[in-house]
C-alpha cells in the first residue's frame, strides 16, 4: 500500500556517516516512489511556526483595501494574490484561496510602509531567513548525496529564488463551480517545496497507480515534495507529483484553512541540464536544456 513516509532528519544533521546515509536513502526512495515525504526533527521550533501562523491569520483578516496595496508584482512574483486569482489547474475555475508571496524582493518595502504589519514583517523575516539559509539547504544537501553529487552542489545553484507563501482558504459559503477546488491539481515548479499545514486537511497527492492519496496534518513535521525543475534536472530520477487541495466535507466548510509553503527554485540563470549521474547510454536525457528563468516564466504565465 502506497503511503507518504515519515523520515527523521536528526540523524542527517547530527549523526555519523552511516546514519546520514540511512536518511539519504530514505529520502531517495520516497522521491522515486511518490515524490512526497514528511520530515520530523528538521529544525523549526513549534513556537516560531505558531507565531507565523498567528501572523498569517492576522494578515488575511486585514481589509481588502490594505491587502491590495501589497498586490503581487509580475516582475518579482512577490505580494498579495487575491481570492480566486490563481488557477493552478488552468482547465478549472479559479482556486478558492488567497495568498501572500514573500521573496528577496519584498522583505523590506512595501511592508515597512504599513505600521500595522510591523510584527508580521519581523516574524516573516525570521522564518524566511531560518528556512532559506539553514533548513532548505540542509535538505538539498541530502538530495545531492542521494544523486551522487558533491554535498554543496545545490547550494551553488540556489539562494536567489526562494519564495515563502502564506495561504488562506476561506470558509466556503456557497456551492463551488463544477471542478472548482481550493487548489487545483498541479505540480510545483522548482526543486523542492516545504509545506506546513494546519489540522483542517485537504491535501492529496496522485500516486503512480493513478489514485488520490490524502496527506493529512502530522504534528511537528514539514511535508517535502519534489518540483518540476528537480525532475527535469534528474531526468525523472526524482518524481514531481501532482497534488491538490480538495473541498472539505460539509462539517468543515465553514472553517478557514491555513498553510505555509516555501518554494525552493534554482537561481534564474541556472540551466536545467540533465545531471551526469542521472543519464547513461541506456537512459538518455528526456528534456531539452532550459534556463530556470524561462522555465518559471512559462509556468507562472499559465497559472495567472
Output the domain CATH number for residue 217.
2.60.120.330
Q: To the nearest 10°, the Cα dihedral for 270, 276, 278, 283?
A: 120
pLDDT at 110: 57
Beta-strand runs (E) in the chain: 6-8, 36-40, 79-81, 98-102, 162-169, 183-186, 192-197, 203-206, 212-214, 221-226, 243-245, 257-264
pLDDT at 1: 65
Give dist(CA 197, CA 53) in Å, integer: 9
Flag whether pLDDT at 285 surpasses 90: yes
pLDDT at 301: 82
Residue 112 lies in a domain: yes
Flag whether pLDDT at 109 surpasses 60: no
C-alpha cell at 63: 481589509
Report the relative pairing of strands 257-264 and 162-169 from DSSP bridges: antiparallel
Listed in sequence order, the residues at least 6 apart from 194 whose beta carbon sits closer than 8 Å to its beta carbon are: 131, 135, 136, 139, 222, 223, 224, 261, 262, 264
Flag whether pLDDT at 189 surpasses 70: yes
Residue 208 lies in a domain: yes
- Encode pLDDT of 206-225 as tens digits: 999 999 999 999 999 999 99
Flag whether pLDDT at 108 surpasses 60: no
Q: Domain of 248?
A: 6-303
Residue 196 lies in a domain: yes
pLDDT at 105: 61
Domain count of the chain? 1
Residue 244 or residue 298, greater confidence? 244
Residue 78 lies in a domain: yes
pLDDT at 76: 80
Flag whether pLDDT at 276 surpasses 90: yes
pLDDT at 106: 60
Residue 1 lies in a domain: no
pTM to 2 decimal places: 0.94
H or E stretch covering 128: helix 118-130
Flag whether pLDDT at 111 surpasses 70: no
* Mean pLDDT for the chain overall: 93
CA-closest candidate to residue 188, choices 154, 165, 213, 211: 165
Flag whether pLDDT at 44 surpasses 80: yes
Amino acid at each position: 500500500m502506497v503511503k507518504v513516509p515519515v523520515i527523521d532528519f536528526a540523524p542527517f544533521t547530527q549523526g555519523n556517516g552511516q546514519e546520514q546515509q540511512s536518511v539519504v536513502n530514505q529520502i531517495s526512495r520516497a522521491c522515486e516512489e511518490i515524490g512526497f515525504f514528511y520530515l520530523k526533527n528538521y529544525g523549526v521550533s513549534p513556537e516560531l511556526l505558531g507565531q507565523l501562523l498567528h501572523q498569517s491569520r492576522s494578515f488575511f483578516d486585514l481589509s481588502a483595501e490594505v491587502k491590495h496595496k501589497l498586490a503581487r508584482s509580475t516582475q518579482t512574483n512577490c505580494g498579495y494574490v487575491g481570492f480566486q486569482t490563481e488557477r493552478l489547474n488552468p482547465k478549472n475555475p479559479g482556486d478558492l484561496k488567497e495568498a501572500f508571496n514573500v521573496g528577496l524582493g519584498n522583505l523590506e518595502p512595501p511592508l515597512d510602509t504599513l505600521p500595522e504589519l510591523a510584527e508580521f514583517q519581523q516574524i516573516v523575516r525570521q522564518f524566511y531567513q531560518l528556512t532559506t539559509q539553514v533548513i532548505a539547504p540542509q535538505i538539498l544537501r541530502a538530495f545531492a548525496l542521494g544523486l551522487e553529487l558533491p554535498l554543496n552542489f545545490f547550494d551553488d545553484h540556489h539562494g536567489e529564488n526562494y519564495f515563502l507563501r502564506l495561504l488562506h482558504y476561506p470558509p466556503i459559503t456557497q456551492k463551488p463551480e463544477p471542478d472548482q477546488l481550493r487548489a487545483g491539481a498541479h505540480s510545483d515548479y522548482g526543486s523542492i517545496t516545504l509545506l506546513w499545514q494546519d489540522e483542517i486537511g485537504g491535501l492529496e497527492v496522485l500516486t503512480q497507480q493513478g489514485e488520490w492519496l490524502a496527506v493529512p496534518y502530522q504534528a511537528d513535521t514539514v511535508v517535502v515534495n519534489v518540483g518540476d525543475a528537480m525532475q527535469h534536472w534528474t531526468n525523472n530520477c526524482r518524481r514531481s507529483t501532482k497534488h491538490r487541495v480538495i473541498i472539505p466535507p460539509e462539517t468543515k466548510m465553514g472553517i478557514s484553512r491555513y498553510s505555509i509553503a516555501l518554494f525552493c527554485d534554482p537561481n534564474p540563470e541556472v540551466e536545467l541540464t540533465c545531471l551526469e549521474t542521472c543519464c547513461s547510454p541506456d537512459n538518455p536525457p528526456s528534456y531539452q536544456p532550459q534556463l530556470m528563468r524561462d522555465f518559471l516564466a512559462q509556468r507562472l504565465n499559465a497559472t495567472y
